[in-house]
Structure formats: structure tokens, C-alpha cells
Amino acid sequence: MYIIIVGAGDIGTPLIDIATRSGNEVVVIEHNTERANRAADRFDCLVLEADATTNATLEDAGAAQADAIVSTTDRDATNIMVSLLAKEYDIPAILSVVHNPEHMNLFEQIGVNTMENPQELIAEYLYRAVARPAIVDYMRIGENAEVFEITVTENAPVAGKTLQETADEDLLSDDVLVVAIERERASEPITPRGNTTIHAGDLLTVYSAVGAEPAITDIFGHYEDRIED
């Protein structure tokens, strides 16, 4: 895949690393001399020290042949301009970081896939690790819903019960769905059915329409998550 990455800063650099290690053809556009030189020395890719908000630079980067362009600069105005120009080259995948949530609509109006401010996402993730230690990993969906991983403890109300039994006993409501089960000695994740029994030690992937609230983590035996936010 031919990928153009705009920006070789804190966000762009890890992306360049992943993209080049995965065997993609990568072109980096970075206007800062120090960052451009650092990327050129570190990664096996073409680095253009130039202004990405001009057609000339995008043409030099091979925009007409690109499969994707990702704008990772710390300025939304720059990212918007790059995205608009990329539209002119019919690049199939146009992605951008958005730092100010108020600008999200602008990106959506021009049809750009976006990622919210990564620093805020990291901060939220770290806070979640402190406030909800039982949650192994999670992803927010919309305002309230979440998909998360959690381990079933020995004293969990659901331990030793089938999924049908947890529903019959109102332990798991219709808003909570066990999506997958990882079990020690199992060669691959288990796809749950109504007659699937939940065991202590199971790592569950759970969808909850109301998020991973303490009332939910209680069900899996993690009463220690009842700390004040």
C-alpha cells in the first residue's frame, strides 16, 4: 500500500514506524527540518521537507498514486487543508487527527475519517485504568456504550452459570452481551452461546450499552471497582 503521512511529530512518528515495518511504501511530508531529518535517518521511506498544504508538494509525494493519506500535524487548520487537497487527487482513504472537538463537523462535511485528540484519549485511558482496575482493555462506542475485557473472579455471581442462566436470573440484562471468551488451555477464543458456561478465570469480551459501571463489574466479581470517580 502507498501511504502519505503528513507530520513526523509525536503522532506521526509511531505511525511511520508501523507503516514502514508492515512493508508499505511510505512518503512522509514534514516542514520542520529537524523532524524531517530524524525521520529520514530512522525510517526506510521518502521524506519531503516541505509544506503539505500545496498541490506541488502533494504531487511530489505521489498523491495521484496514493492509497491513503494521513494528516497528523498538531494544527487542525493544516489537517483540514491537507484533507481538502487530497480530495482533489481522489485518494481512496483520507484520515486526519482532530485536536479541537468543535472542528469535527468540518472534517465530517468534507468526508474525512477522523481520530479525536490522541493525547486526550490516552489521558482518558490512563484515568480509566486507575478508576476501573478490573477493566483489561476497553473501547467507547458513542456516548455511553463500551466494549471491554474483564476477567471472571472465583466469587463472581456469573461464575459456573450458563449465559442462559445469567439471563434467567437477571444477572446480565439485555444491555449487556458477552461477545467472546478466552479460556486457559483453549486454543482459540470461544464464541458464546446460551448453553456456554462462564468459568472463573475466563477473560470475557463484553459489550455494555451503559458502559463498564460498577454495577456491571460487580457481576463479574470485581467489587473493588466501586471507588469514587
Give CA–CA dist 110/5, Å, rounded: 19
At 180-212, the pLDDT tens digits run 999 988 888 999 999 999 999 999 999 999 888
The DSSP element (H or E) to which 43 belongs, if any, is none
Residue 161: per-residue pLDDT: 95
Name the one residue in this structure whose C-alpha cell is 506541488: 56
Q: How confident is the model at residue 8 (pLDDT cuts 50, 70, 90)?
A: very high
Residue 127 makes CB contacts below 8 A (sequence gap 6+) with none
DSSP 8-state symbol, 197:
B
The three grid cell numbers given for residue 81, joined into one nine-digit string: 487543508
Report how far residue 68's alpha carbon sits from residue 198's, in angstroms, rounded to the nearest whole number. Answer: 43
Helix ranges, the chain (H): 12-21, 33-42, 55-60, 76-88, 104-109, 118-131, 163-168, 214-219
Q: What is the pLDDT of residues 136-159, one digit of tens each?
A: 777 778 778 889 999 999 999 999
Indicate the pTM of the whole model.
Answer: 0.65
Eight-class DSSP state of 45: S
φ, ψ of residue 185 to 5 degrees: the values are 75, -5
Q: Average pLDDT of 11-23?
A: 94
Backbone phi, then psi, for 140, in 5-degree steps?
A: -80, 140
Look at residue 224 and tell me whether its pLDDT is greater than 50: yes
Cell triple for residue 13?
512518528
The 3-class secondary structure across 141-204, one letter per residue, is ECCCEEEEEEECCCCCCCCCCEHHHHHHCCCCCCCEEEEEEECCCCCCCECCCCCCECCCCCEE
Grid coordinates in use for 8? Answer: 513526523
Question: What are the CA-CA distances from residue 51 to residues 2, 31, 36, 58 (Å)?
Answer: 20, 5, 12, 9
Domains and CATH numbers, the chain: 2-115 (3.40.50.720), 122-225 (3.30.70.1450)
Amino acid symbol at 155:
N
Cα gap 158→155, rounded to integer Å: 8
First to last CA, the chain: 44
Average pLDDT over residues 8-23: 94
